[in-house]
Amino acid sequence: MCVTPASEFFWIGLALFAAVGFVCFRVGHRFWRDASSASNAEQWAEVFNDHGPPMMNCSLWLLILILAGVSCGLL
């Protein structure tokens, strides 16, 4: 079901997209901060174990929201 900008569902979806985008930005920033300070393979493994699952979750949610926007002609 596609919505127009006059619909309240459009604004709810836009707010959801902004919130997910912000969370993904924060996860990516923390990953970058920890990865830049990792100096050996053990620390790299810890960085990927800590930040890998949240990054995958964010990526999937962003993909779902982007595909929904594209299918409705909003993006």
**What confidence tens digit (pLDDT) does each residue in 24-64 have?**
899 999 999 999 998 999 999 999 999 999 999 998 988 98
Dihedral sign, CA of 5, 13, 23, 29?
negative
pLDDT score, position 12 = 83
Q: What is the pTM of this model?
A: 0.70
Question: Which residues make Cβ contacts (< 8 Å) with residue 68, sequence separation at least 6?
Answer: 13
Average pLDDT over residues 3-12: 78
